[in-house]
Chain A
């Protein structure tokens, strides 16, 4: 009897909880898309109407925000910042992680502990001094300055992830390569990197997510619209009283789609990257 009661409680919780969660997670994204396609008058007249009315949908908001509100520019900026951050993180943290995993040098223990510590540092604690430094050096409104900051955020995670992966790769193959006369660089490029591809992909995806979504520093450092990234652009557009809900949601869709698409394409790697790196955020 007790067993039966407990099982029915568990199954009720499972079904009800599952349904509530699905709705709570999916609904905002569903509404985001619907709101971007529904005429504003309709949205204001009856906000509770959240169904799909194919005949009445309008697609003008996308070209409008893309051209009139310069989202093409913001998209380009976000793409630039993300790709450069991912590429530089991969190159330098591969080399660095290789050194920590394979080479003997003084300060190795300090460094591998330090990685974890730096990785815990919150961005907000350095926001003010970096604001001062970037203002002094003229790095504000400069996308490369933003990249520089993102690199400092991603290096610790990337170094940590890659070095623990390299440790699981047996060094025998690399040694064989060395004996056959390969230089260190070509050993890394031809042997270590291909063997660690899953970890590299995870790092790339995690880094991409950070750079694409980051708000605080984009907000503090970018003042001129020509340098806005998508998150900064959306926030600026939201503060503009002339902008409708519809346009705002259009911007949100434009910013969300790429990162969610990448997530579903590489879900397995993405999750590995999240579990390794996402203690933070």
Chain B
């Protein structure tokens, strides 16, 4: 092409054009994601406070395992790991369950189905800040829900749903289900509609009951999408910062790893420890990613889902 002056074979030109087209996205992704990921490793082997950022300390060659020792020795760390796992497993299960339920609910055609689908997607679309603060006010001990439950007589005293162990974690998990079931529902619904009708007709001929059809026809067809979604949701719940931070700020046994990372940074002004905690998170994630690509992607390719 003329723009580059230099001439080459047609293929060279094509290649140069491709690199030009990809220049901006690749550069930005490199600068903002790949390079920082590597540099995080570097930072995690430094003893760095927020104040040191003004100096050249982040670039120094004084490596130390101080940050890792601090993180692993931190009392918060073990409980944080447990909290993260509880939150991820619980959140994933409830999201899948609600998603599956909603997909089954909306699979037959009926009036108002489209409206219901639209409505159900709103929790996921709305800004996380808006929905977390709304729920915080709703669930407040002096808020509408608790007051109503006490007035009706179901509770003697209002519960502190976001500030009490183990209620806080339970509430977070339920919130996770409330906010993310739309996603699971969309995926499961798409798969559900792709199941060949002939399978159900054959089951009808065999005299299968609705439950049998669900367990022997529908569920096996959904296995792959449920496994994929489960793993993806697990990974993303594992990294979830916003929801937890905004709902409980990590109080009452809900300080999950991402909140711990940010807490090191802006609560304790310890950049190094934050980086080390992020490395732990990143390590767990790499393992999950490998499992994802090994198991699911390969099986998905075979089955062409």
A contact set with B: CB distance below 8 Å: 2-3, 6-7, 10, 14, 17-18, 21-22, 24-26, 28-29, 31-32, 35, 46-48, 50, 92-93, 95-96, 98-100, 103-106, 108, 111, 117-118, 120-133, 135-136, 148-149, 151-152, 155-156, 159, 184, 209, 212-213, 215-216, 220, 230-231, 234-235, 238, 245, 248-249, 251-253, 255-256, 259-260, 263-264, 267, 270-271, 274-275, 278-281
Contact = CB atoms under 8 A, between A and B. Distances in A.
B258 A249 contact: no
B128 A31 contact: no
A257 B68 CA distance: 44
Nearest to A258: B127
Contacts of A24: 178
A98 B125 contact: no
Say what secondary structure dominates the interface of chain B: helix
Nearest to B212: A6
7 contacts: A7-B210, A47-B142, A47-B143, A111-B22, A155-B28, A220-B262, A259-B126
Contacts of B116: 18, 22
B265 interface: yes
A2 B127 CA distance: 46
Given A18-B116, A106-B15, A129 B36 contact: yes
By secondary structure, the A interface counts as: helix
Given A21-B105, A106-B15, A274-B186, A122 B119 contact: no
A266 B257 CA distance: 36
A252 B133 contact: yes
A10 B210 contact: yes
Given A14-B105, A267-B118, A129 B40 contact: yes
A48 B261 contact: no
A231 B25 contact: no
Contacts, number: 256
Contact of B43 (A129, A136, A152, A159): A129
Given A14-B105, A279-B232, A216 B241 contact: yes
Interface in B1-53: 1, 11, 14-15, 17-19, 21-22, 24-26, 28-29, 31-37, 39-40, 43, 53
B138 A129 contact: no
B295 to A, nearest CB: 15
B74 interface: no
A220 B271 CA distance: 13
Given A127-B261, A149-B32, A216-B262, 19 more contacts: A21-B120, A31-B134, A31-B144, A35-B137, A47-B142, A100-B18, A100-B22, A103-B21, A106-B15, A125-B278, A125-B285, A128-B43, A130-B32, A131-B265, A215-B242, A220-B262, A249-B133, A253-B130, A260-B126
A256 B128 contact: no
